[in-house]
Structures are given as C-alpha cells and as structure tokens.
Amino acid sequence: MPTTNELRQLKIEELKARVVELKQQIFDMKSKHNTGVLDSTADLLKSRREIARCLTVAREADLGLVREAKAEPKPAGGEKRKAASPKAEKAEKPAKKAGKAKE
C-alpha cells in the first residue's frame, strides 16, 4: 500500500486508474467474502481507505493545493526511551496529619 506522499507523485490519470483498479479489487473481495473464501476482511477496509487517499490526492491536485511531505516516521521498537516515568518524577506526598480525636 503506497503512502500518501508516494501517491502525490503520481499523475491524476494514474490516481483515477488506481481507484478503478481498487474498486474492482473490492468487488472481487466482496464476492469471495460472500462465498466464504476471503481470508481477511481487513483487506476490504484497507482498500476502501486507499481509494479515499487516492481520491483525496486527486482532488488536491485539481484544486492546486500543495501539501508538504511529512517527516519520515521514526522506526518502531528498537530504542527504548530512557526518560523517567511520571510517577518517579513526582515528589512523595507528605503523610496525612492525624485528625482530632473525638471524646
């Protein structure tokens, strides 16, 4: 699945062709789902979202909007944060004062 930045590099005609291809793919997946052959129903959602991305980028191009590419995401996992937890940063609460004794 291409990222939005990769889709912005395509021409409008290529984007619309991609939409037609994805709609056909969704049709095929729905047929498989009805017959019980589809492995993952999550693929339907992914395809719908990709269609929405393609149409959004095509509309941006039609309107002449220029969007800047986002910075590359940091790799997941790998390095762990070494910052202290919020609980460790809080000072200890003073002990509760003893209440007045009732006679």
Structural domain span for residue 47: 4-63
Tens of pLDDT along the chain (103 residues) come to 788 889 989 899 999 999 999 999 999 999 999 999 999 999 999 999 999 999 999 999 989 888 776 777 677 766 665 555 555 555 666 666 666 666 5
Let me know if residue 103 belongs to a domain. no
Token pair in block for residue 6: 């990769």
Distance between CA atoms of residues 80 and 72, nearest Å = 19
The reply to whether 87 falls in a domain is: no
Q: How many domains does the chain have?
A: 1
In-domain check, residue 59: yes
Q: What CATH code is carried by the domain that includes residue 8?
A: 1.10.287
